[in-house]
Structure 1
Amino acid sequence: MTTPDSTPDRTPVTGDGSVAGPPRRRLAAYGLGSIGTGVFSTVPGLLLLYYMTDVLGVAAGLAGLVVTLPKAWDAFLNPMVGAASDREAVRTGRRTRLLLAGTLALPVAFAAMFLCPFTGAAAEAWVATTFVLAASAFSLFQVPYVALPAEMSDDSAARTRVMVWRIVFLTLGILVAGGLAPAVVDAAGGGRPGYAAMGATVAVIVAAVLAVATRGTRWVRSRPGPEPLGLAAAFRTARGNRAFFALLTAFVAQAAGVAVMLAAAPYVATYRLGSYGLTSALFVCLVAPSALAVPLWGRAAHRYGRLRCFTVATCGYAAGAAALLPAVAAGAVPAVLALCVLLGICYAALQVLPLALLPDTVLADAARTGHAQSGAFTGLWTAGETIGLAVGPGAYSLALAATGFVSSTLDHPVAQTSAARTGVLLGFSVVPAVLMLLSLPALRRYGKRRAAVSSPAPALAKDLL
């Protein structure tokens, strides 16, 4: 096996000998990558469906298929990338090559998604092809990137600190996507020119932050093994980790709920609140509070327990989403924005806490099986997340089609029926609330299964409680 990076490990150590975690400059370098992943995870879910139905004139049902199928491919690809990442880590002691490949390919494919010169069927083919390429490039970066925290420290508190930094930057990326992207579209005149300018602007940002993260995480010594498992063997090994799959089930349901709400936002702004420009305001109110709330959730989790706080935040998000139904129906914009602030506070916990729990299940499984397959588990995790993010817009597009929504272009706008406007509203309120509530049984199963996963240390077993 190739000797890993010989750079001295300067990870801080506390007075009692426990690992305090990487220094801030390393945390910042790692966290910056989440700006890029947050942007890519958000912009297609927020704008791509609307771009196809209201700029390119693609029928809602077909547009939903285009948005969903590339994500389905990504869900298939992610576990293979995870296995490849583990093989690279065994050979080189790092996961840098796949990170670099994603860094180079993703910005180009992302910009191409919003440079479509066609309308109708040709536009479907263009967006589908470029979205598949972008999703594949994203997988090359995201899977090894998510695997790194489990290898940055053996201390669960230090890993939670890593996740807090990551989610703060992820929130900034989501804020850039939801606040800046629609604003750039408007500033560039809307339509095809506006979306093309937005795609190019966001691509430059993604390229810069992914490059910093790729270079800034070369110090991480990856330790899978004792030898890499093949994809089938990795699946068999992971199958016995019931706590992991319970946590993943909850996360997928919640990702679908958030994705439905994101896909619905521009439609709600346009057809229920009277202005597409409110899309940015809705998104900023949803995401900006979460940037401030992430450290607070980290402290609360340390005091009250991560699973307990995760459950409280899930219930809070469900209640806030349900309350949007009467607020949006009444056209009460201030009330809608205030509820989005509440949702943003809960959303912070839905981001940081499951990712803080994920490395614990990976390391606990390593004690059970003797194989530390971080890449395999994060490949499964990101595949599940991708499925959730795909199901949301796909299901919403089908709901639009079922309620009679009519696609259009800016040159030929169409007034929507009352049934279509009701479908727009339900996707922004009731559907996310229901999906959040459906995730609660999985969280309960996770709490029950935690004892079934062997812990490498008593402190970890206590933390899984």
Structure 2
Amino acid sequence: MTAVPSIPRLSRGTQLGYALGSVGTAAFGTVPGLLLLYYLTDVLGVAAGIAGLVVFAPKAWDVLLNPWIGSRSDRTESRWGPRRPWMLAGGVTLPLLFVLVFAGPGAPPALAAGWVAVTFLLAATAYGCFQVPYVAQPAEITDDPGERATLMSWRVAALALGILLAGAGAPAVVDAFGGGRGGYLAMAVFVALLLALGMLGAVAGTRRAPTLTRVRSEARLLPTLRLAWRSRPFRVLLAGFVLQALGIGVMLAGVPYYSEQVLGDPAAGTVLFVALVAPAILVMPLWLRVSRRLGKRKGLLLSAAVFVFGAGSVVVWDDFGPAGAYAAVVLVGIGYAGMQMFPLAMLPDVIAADEATSGQRRAGVFTGVWTAAETLGLAIGPGLLGGLLALAGYVSSTGDEVVTQGTAAAVTVELGLSVVPALLVLLSLPVLARYRLDPVPTQEVPA
């Protein structure tokens, strides 16, 4: 690995351009988990168990795909740098593929489920082409830890904004266009515009960013993965992060079911999502202060504990009606903000520590494994909820068909937004308590 002797500072335009990509990652990371399972069961009439599998299987493909993309982008040489060609490929193809997911046949259910499975698989592939190199890029465009922290702060702010726009806007568009297949297709077009804005904006916005390192990776993917897995801090952080992503995935998938079955108002899903995400923008400075005072590990543990308490209390507070449920979800959102920020800040520390001990840059491989695990956790969440609903006897429906759910199904819907996510995130606490790493500052290597 070599480094450029004089490190140019990133312009504010580059910082904002890079952060813009998180609007795209937030949109694709949020909307399928929030709406796709419900679209399959209550619009297309697909059985809950099969719908859960359809949502899970294509994104599980990323477990194999993302590390491969990371390894290949590590070795990519172009005048655009190693990452931007891959980001462009994903940014061009994903918006169209996302629209196609919701543009397929409405019947019979088997054909509809097959269409969604295939197009969602292609969309997940395009997303991996963008996300993996995008997450790896900060390690190469600046060697200044302070500048990298500034870059990440802009990214987290854009991520929160993107989650709010996509998560609150997508259900609102569905309702505005009358629900059903037409409403979901209009929603897909809206989300596709967010994807194009964020992903292509990041490609254009980082066009003047320097590439300060030249990567030398292992020739084969599997040996590189084994070397990355030997990093104990990475293993611990990844395991805890996956458990938290799984809990978040269950909660997001449960929002539309909870809105209709418990609160009795499908439009309440938008309010619930705003209550979950809006605190992220407001309390982020608080979590940054906690990070400086207590450290990132303690901050992550504290934010996860707040999430667990808030999620577990939903079943109590919703006895007071929608206002009580919204108040509980606001508390969940305060914890959720920290759970988004701290892992993003800790991953570069792990990469820097690996570089210091190994002498090699494996940012692409680390981020490939990381994004694959994140995607898998968020995909298993809806699949797990779908399986629980199937066991509880949840009855799927199509269009405006009104179905009365049994007691077991109704209880499962309520637990899917509260107790189940709380337990999954609670399991992450003893895992993350074992995380130990003193951040290693990146040092410039003389040319």
Q: Structure 1-normalised TM-score?
A: 0.91
Matched, 1:248 2:226: no
Give the alignment of 1:392-431 within 5 angstroms: 392-431=381-420
Contact 2:55 2:379 in 1 (8 A): yes
CA distance, structure 1, for counterparts of residue 18 and residue 42 of structure 2: 37
The number of residue pairs the alignment matches comes to: 441
Contact 2:24 2:162 in 1 (8 A): yes
Contact 2:136 2:364 in 1 (8 A): yes
What amino acid sits opposite 2:386 in the alignment? Answer: S
What's the CA shift for 1:80? 0.4
CA distance, structure 1, for counterparts of residue 82 and residue 3 of structure 2: 7
What amino acid sits opposite 1:408 in the alignment? Answer: S
Q: RMSD value over aligned CA atoms?
A: 2.1
Contact 2:24 2:194 in 1 (8 A): yes
What's the CA shift for 1:245? 1.0
What amino acid sits opposite 1:396 in the alignment? Answer: L
CA distance, structure 2, for counterparts of residue 250 and residue 291 of structure 1: 23
Matched, 1:293 2:266: no
What amino acid sits opposite 1:10 in the alignment? Answer: P
Residue aligning to 1:463: none
Contact 1:86 1:228 in 2 (8 A): no
Contact 1:251 1:439 in 2 (8 A): yes
Residue aligning to 2:343: 354
Residue aligning to 2:181: 192
Contact 1:4 1:93 in 2 (8 A): no
Residue aligning to 1:40: 28
CA distance, structure 2, for counterparts of residue 341 and residue 242 of structure 1: 34
Aligned in 2, Cα 1:4/1:309: closer, same or farther, shift over 3 Å?
A: closer
Residue aligning to 1:122: 111
Aligned in 2, Cα 1:91/1:235: closer, same or farther, shift over 3 Å?
A: farther
Give the alignment of 1:43-442 within 5 angstroms: 43-88=31-76, 93-119=81-107, 120-218=109-207, 219-221=209-211, 223-328=213-318, 330=319, 332-442=321-431
Contact 2:7 2:142 in 1 (8 A): no
> Where does the alignment leave 5 or more consecutive residues of structure 1 unmatched?
12-21, 459-465
CA distance, structure 2, for counterparts of residue 50 and residue 227 of structure 1: 42
CA distance, structure 2, for counterparts of residue 292 and residue 348 of structure 1: 9
Deviations 1:357-401 (A, max 9, x none): 101111110111111110000000001101110110000000000
Contact 1:38 1:170 in 2 (8 A): yes
Residue aligning to 1:461: none
What's the CA shift for 1:289? 1.2
Higher deviation after alignment, 209-218 or 428-437: 209-218
Contact 1:90 1:223 in 2 (8 A): no
CA distance, structure 1, for counterparts of residue 289 and residue 141 of structure 2: 20
Matched, 1:10 2:8: yes
What amino acid sits opposite 1:108 in the alignment? Answer: L
Aligned in 2, Cα 1:189/1:98: closer, same or farther, shift over 3 Å?
A: same
What amino acid sits opposite 1:280 in the alignment? Answer: T
What amino acid sits opposite 1:34 in the alignment? Answer: S
Aligned in 2, Cα 1:4/1:364: closer, same or farther, shift over 3 Å?
A: closer
Aligned in 2, Cα 1:194/1:287: closer, same or farther, shift over 3 Å?
A: same
Aligned in 2, Cα 1:270/1:47: closer, same or farther, shift over 3 Å?
A: same
Deviations 1:217-274 (A, max 9, x none): 2314162533454211211221221101100111111011111000000000000000
Q: Which has the higher contact order (CA 8 A, sep 6+)?
A: 2
What amino acid sits opposite 1:318 in the alignment? Answer: V
> Where does the alignment leave 5 or more consecutive residues of structure 2 unmatched?
none
CA distance, structure 2, for counterparts of residue 374 and residue 176 of structure 1: 30
Contact 1:164 1:294 in 2 (8 A): no
Contact 1:156 1:360 in 2 (8 A): no
Contact 1:4 1:94 in 2 (8 A): no
CA distance, structure 2, for counterparts of residue 369 and residue 9 of structure 1: 23
What's the CA shift for 1:91? 8.7
CA distance, structure 2, for counterparts of residue 411 and residue 224 of structure 1: 57
What's the CA shift for 1:414? 0.9
CA distance, structure 2, for counterparts of residue 156 and residue 433 of structure 1: 34
What amino acid sits opposite 2:428 in the alignment? Answer: S
What amino acid sits opposite 1:45 in the alignment? Answer: G
Q: Structure 2-normalised TM-score?
A: 0.94
What amino acid sits opposite 2:8 in the alignment? Answer: R
Give the secondary structure class of the aligned counterpart of 1:445.
Answer: coil
Residue aligning to 1:30: 18
CA distance, structure 1, for counterparts of residue 48 and residue 37 of structure 2: 8
Residue aligning to 1:16: none
Identical amino acids, percent of aligned pairs: 48
What amino acid sits opposite 2:86 in the alignment? Answer: L
Residue aligning to 1:17: none
Aligned in 2, Cα 1:433/1:234: closer, same or farther, shift over 3 Å?
A: same
What amino acid sits opposite 1:209 in the alignment? Answer: G
Residue aligning to 2:434: 445
What amino acid sits opposite 2:57 in the alignment? Answer: L
What amino acid sits opposite 2:242 in the alignment? Answer: V
